[in-house]
């Protein structure tokens, strides 16, 4: 008896100190000793091997469910990892049939939180599959990390001691890392965030996330040029795009517009003043950085145009929301895969699954379409089905042929003279919007290229592919400059950092990574999403990043710390696109649930600092939800003047 107690004390000590490996070694040795002591017993145990897993698990489950209410939710968290590993152990041991029975018996418990993982694991039917499936490998190699309070941990230990269930104890020891915190159990029950995969991967992530990154904006950027003119008297020139709309209405000639303008101008000036102040306080924290890439020189007239745009930018905040111009693709027959809008909103491109690329030209043709459609508004019936394209005019778009597979992504260069498209034929093509022709075909990826993005300064672009890599290219070379490898599954989306020194990639392995463009190294891993990442956006001040996933969750990350600032929950379906407003105060998200939502960035970042009232502030952060008429939102783009452009394909189920 005494010996056993000593052993227990030793085990407890080891656990407390976190010497898991030693503990394991100790246990193995103990087991060996006990095996050797009564071999016939061990034989019997081996025989009923498969049964002990399901027995042990069902007992553990029963115990966890009947435990004290206060500690229940913490104890229940243990079940999922145990369940997964019991299953995988069974499969690995060759008891495929039993594994399946076991899997289905307890599947329901975890369906609500881990459905996607379960669906993937369901297919595992042989030890070979275990190796092949990415998810199971990562489960095997890494540890689950579970936070629980001291008392829950004690309870669990007591139970494991009492029942003598070595199987369960083994599984728990091997695959779960407990993070024991003193005091009361955490309040948020049923939150799966507390079950994260720990271990090597997370160590790696932690290690990586300690690397230094310079998220400051570039030195000598145009924004700096702006500071001067804004303070000048030139701000009297401020014009608001919305004004033009109001004036377009045949009210009473020009008279109507003037008071509006006056009012807005006054307001704007005050807002500009405010914003400059707040910006300077924020900017002082972020040091300006030098570009790591040689950046292309911008033409003087282009620079002038940008400055003009910046000067006449509408200031947005949680009170002043943007105007949204929506481009609806009609009669697409569900063939539109992607769309993009140029910075100034004058060009719209759509990539189709029939490998064609359609670029709609000048905004004026769209304007005419608006007129005809508004006339048709009277004829209620004909309205949605078919806006007849236009009457006896030339085609309102240019057709680009060249790809030999569905086009998955398009992007305009910052000044709209080039267009890039990526396709399932694993190529990227560069098109000139001036010459209406294909200029270059970039071959490098081996599998479909899911996403391609021009850098904020043009010239460089990044692509991501099914081959699990992201690549950086320059327009003038047909070979990639950098290959970023490291994701464990498809790289689904890619986005440039505002200072062009980093790119972010979102992947089907549910992580977002940040890569240094110069060195090609991964500098941050963001773990937290529960499904495939579909969209990314970088805040213009370079500090934050937003990522949207398949479930409709948007997460806001602080790049410097690598932590999630706040999850923004509101969409019910895939978040296809995200966009920050030009001064970074608003985040717009477009989703398959046919809404555009506007989120208050400043509120969400502030709330995280206070670290409280997470549930109540959640609602505050959503500023506005704008439903469309059965049009999933594919693309969002803020113009330099802060007008928001959105595009989507009308998908009427007839």
Enumerate residues 498-517 that contact another protein by CB under 8 A: 508
Shortest spacing between CB 555 and another protein, in angstroms: 18
Stretch 353-372 residues interacting with another protein (CB under 8 A): 353, 358, 360, 363, 366-367, 369-370
> Considering only residues 45, 59, 110, 120, which one is a binding residue for another protein as defined by CB under 8 A?
120
Q: Is 24 in the site for another protein (CB under 8 A)?
A: no
User: 335 or 443, CB closer to another protein?
Assistant: 335
Name which of residues 570 to 599 contact another protein (CB under 8 A). Answer: 573-574, 576, 592, 596, 598
HEC string for 331-393: CCCCCEEEEEECCCCCCEEEEECCCEEEEECCHHHHHHHHHHHHHHCCCCCHHHHCCCCCCCC
Site string for another protein, 532-551 (x = CB under 8 A): x-x---------------x-
Instruction: Provide, rounded to whole angstroms, the least separation between the CB of residue 473 and another protein.
Output: 20
Q: Which residues of 251-260 are buried (b: 16+ CB within 10 A; e: fewer)?
A: eeeeeebeee
- By CB under 8 A, name the one of 35, 63, 151, 387 that touches another protein: 387
* Residue 448 beta carbon to another protein: minimum distance, rounded to whole angstroms: 7
CB 412 within 8 A of CB 439: no
CB 596 within 8 A of CB 324: yes
- Smallest separation, CB 323 to another protein (Å): 5
224-263 footprint of another protein as x/- string (CB under 8 A): ------------------x--xx--xxxxx-xx--xx---
* 612 C-beta neighbours (distance < 10 Å), count: 9
Distance CA 35, CA 16 (A): 27
Q: Which of residues 82-101 bind another protein (CB under 8 A)?
A: 96-97, 100
**Residues 471 and 480: beta-carbon distance below 8 Å:** yes
Closest distance between another protein and the C-beta of residue 126, in Å?
6
CB of 348 to another protein, least distance (A): 6
- Minimum gap (Å) between residue 378 Cβ and another protein: 5
Interface of this chain with another protein, residues 304 to 333, rule: CB under 8 A: 320-333
Which residues are within 8 A (CB) of 422 and not within 5 positions of it... i.e. 6 or more apart?
A: 407, 408, 409, 410, 428, 429, 449, 450, 451, 452, 463
Task: Tell me, by CB under 8 A, how many residues bind another protein.
Answer: 97
Minimum distance of another protein from residue 270's CB (angstroms):
16
In contact, 439 and 431? CB cutoff 8 Å: yes
Contacts (CB under 8 A) with another protein, residues 143-172? none
User: 524 - beta bridge partners?
Assistant: 514
Residues 183-202 that bind another protein (CB under 8 A): none
Task: Please classify residue 653 by burial: count the beta carbons closer than 10 Å to its beta carbon, then call 0-12 exposed, 13-18 middle and 19+ buried.
Answer: exposed
Which residue from 632, 639, 640, 641 is in contact with another protein, where contact means CB under 8 A? 632
Tokens coding 552 = 């409709």
Task: Give the DSSP H or E segment for 626.
Answer: strand 622-627
Tokens of 33: 């000793």
């Amino acid at each position: 008896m005494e010996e056993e107690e000593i052993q227990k004390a030793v085990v407890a000590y080891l656990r407390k100190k976190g010497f898991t490996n030693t503990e394991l070694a100790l246990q193995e040795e103990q087991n060996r000793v006990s095996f050797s002591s009564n071999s016939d017993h061990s034989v019997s145990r081996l025989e009923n091997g498969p049964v002990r897993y399901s027995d042990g698990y069902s007992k553990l489950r029963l115990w966890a469910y009947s435990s004290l209410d206060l500690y229940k939710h913490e104890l229940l968290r243990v079940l999922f990892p145990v369940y997964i590993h019991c299953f995988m152990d069974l499969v690995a041991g060759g008891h495929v049939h039993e594994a399946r029975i076991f899997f289905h018996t307890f599947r329901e418990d975890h369906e609500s939180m881990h459905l996607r993982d379960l669906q993937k694991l369901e297919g595992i039917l042989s030890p070979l599959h275990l190796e092949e499936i990415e998810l199971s490998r990562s489960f095997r190699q890494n540890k689950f990390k579970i936070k629980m309070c001291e008392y829950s941990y004690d309870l669990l230990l007591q139970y494991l001691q009492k029942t003598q269930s070595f199987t369960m104890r083994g599984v728990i020891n091997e695959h779960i890392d407990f993070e024991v915190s003193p005091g009361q159990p955490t309040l948020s029950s049923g939150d799966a965030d507390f079950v994260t995969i720990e271990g090597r991967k997370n160590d790696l992530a932690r290690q990586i996330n300690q690397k230094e990154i310079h998220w400051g904006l570039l030195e000598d950027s145009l924004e700096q040029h702006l500071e001067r003119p804004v303070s000048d008297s030139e701000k009297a020139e401020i014009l608001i795009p919305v004004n033009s709309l109001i004036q377009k209405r045949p009210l009473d000639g020009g008279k109507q517009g003037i008071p509006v303008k006056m009012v807005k101008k006054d307001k704007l000036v005050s807002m500009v003043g405010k914003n400059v102040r707040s910006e300077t306080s924020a900017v002082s924290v972020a040091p300006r950085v030098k570009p790591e890439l040689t950046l292309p020189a911008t033409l003087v007239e282009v620079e002038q145009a940008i400055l003009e745009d910046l000067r006449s930018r509408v200031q947005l905040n949680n009170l002043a929301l943007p105007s949204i111009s929506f481009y609806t693709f009609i009669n697409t027959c569900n063939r539109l895969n992607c769309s993009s809008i140029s910075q100034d909103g004058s060009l719209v491109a759509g990539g189709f699954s029939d490998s064609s690329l359609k670029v709609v030209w000048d905004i004026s043709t769209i304007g005419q379409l608006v007129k005809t459609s508004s006339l048709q508004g009277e004829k209620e019936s004909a309205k949605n089905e078919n806006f007849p394209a236009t009457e006896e005019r030339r085609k309102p778009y240019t057709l680009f042929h060249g790809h030999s597979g569905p086009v998955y992504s398009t992007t305009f260069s910052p000044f709209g003279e080039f267009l890039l498209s990526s396709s399932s034929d694993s190529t990227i093509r560069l098109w000139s919007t001036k010459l209406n022709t294909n200029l270059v075909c970039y071959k490098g990826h081996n599998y479909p290229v899911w996403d391609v993005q021009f850098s904020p300064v043009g010239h460089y672009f990044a692509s991501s592919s099914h081959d699990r890599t992201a690549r950086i290219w320059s327009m003038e070379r047909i070979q990639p400059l950098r290959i970023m490898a490291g994701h464990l599954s498809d790289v689904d989306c890619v986005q440039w950092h505002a200072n062009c020194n980093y790119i972010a990639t979102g992947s089907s392995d549910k992580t977002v990574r940040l890569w240094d463009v110069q060195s090609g190294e991964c500098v941050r891993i963001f773990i937290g999403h529960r499904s495939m990442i579909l969209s990314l956006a970088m805040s213009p001040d370079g500090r934050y990043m937003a990522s949207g996933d398949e479930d409709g969750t948007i997460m806001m990350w602080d790049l410097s710390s690598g932590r999630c600032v706040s999850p923004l929950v509101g969409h019910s379906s895939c978040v296809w696109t995200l966009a920050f407003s030009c001064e970074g105060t608003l985040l717009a998200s477009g989703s398959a649930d046919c809404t555009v939502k506007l989120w208050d960035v400043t509120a969400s970042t502030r709330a995280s600092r206070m670290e409280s009232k997470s549930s109540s502030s959640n609602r505050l952060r959503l500023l506005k939800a704008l439903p469309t008429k059965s049009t999933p939102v594919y693309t969002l783009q803020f113009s330099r003047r802060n007008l928001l452009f959105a595009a989507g394909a009308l998908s009427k189920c007839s």
